[in-house]
Amino acid sequence: MGWLQVGVKMDLKTKTNLERIGSSSILAKSLASRYRESMRKRFISFSKGGGDWPPLDEKTVGTTIKKSRPNETRTIKPIRDTQNKAKKIPKASRTSKKHPILRQTGQLLEGLNPSLSSSGSEKITDFNTVAVGFSNSNHVNSNLSISRIASIHHYGEGVPKRTILVMPDNQAIDKMRKLIIKSVINGLSVSKSSIGGQ
């Protein structure tokens, strides 16, 4: 797995109608933007412990602090409940709130910006698909690309598996469906008006 991207596909009949009115690429880019928006919201929630991403352990948190503050050598000590020793504090709540997961540099999150950024990638690959993913530019903390770093985390290659690009939730799918319907209706209206004015 060298890089990470997914294909956002459109219904064939809808795509054919859009090609007739010349707005297929515009809709494809709009759908890609909506998809990134959905994945960005998920990324932010999961990075704070709101999903099924494995939490950071104390060793990783300590290493992260050393990298971001090279002149400091302190590490994070495990949190203990001094008032109720029998009560265990979930690891996710210990690490994810103060040290969000996969957000040390912000490049992976930036790659999911609805407005395509230098960390993301987008390409119309064929008649009904737009590929959405991460840039092949180098990651700031590695000689690997941003897309490769995303792939490593997404598939769990030597690190805890934390999926990044997945099927959007029902709310996001509904928004994308409405966008397609609106685009078709508006596009056909413009096309009819143009024909009538000739």
- Model-level pTM? 0.74
**H or E stretch including 9?**
strand 5-9
**CB–CB of 191/140 below 8 Å?**
no
Q: pLDDT averaged over consecutive 10-residue blocks of the chain (198 residues)? A: 77 67 77 95 95 80 49 40 44 61 93 93 83 92 91 94 95 89 67 38
Residue 36 burial class via C-beta count within 10 angstroms: exposed 0-12, middle 13-18, buried 19 and up: buried
Q: Specify the pLDDT at position 76.
A: 36
Question: Tokens 């737009």 — which residue?
Answer: 130
Q: How big is the chain, counted in residues?
A: 198
| The token pair that represents 17 in the structure block | 């109608």
Q: Where are the domains of the chain?
A: 5-53+101-197, 57-100
Q: Specify the pLDDT at position 127.
A: 66
Q: Specify the pLDDT at position 153.
A: 95
**CB–CB of 137/143 below 8 Å?**
no
Cα–Cα–Cα angle for 57, 36, 8, rounded to 5 degrees: 120
**Edge to edge, what strands does the sheet with 5-9 contain?**
5-9, 129-134, 120-126
| Closest-CA residue to 170 (of 27, 38, 46) | 38
Q: Specify the pLDDT at position 183.
A: 78
Q: What is the DSSP annotation of 61-111?
A: HHHHHHHHSTT----PPPP--SS-TTPPPPHHHHHTTTS-TT-SSSHHHHT
Q: Which amino acid is at 54?
A: P
Q: Specify the pLDDT at position 57.
A: 73
Q: Specify the pLDDT at position 15.
A: 67
| Closest-CA residue to 16 (of 196, 175, 184) | 184
Distance CA 176, CA 151 (A): 25
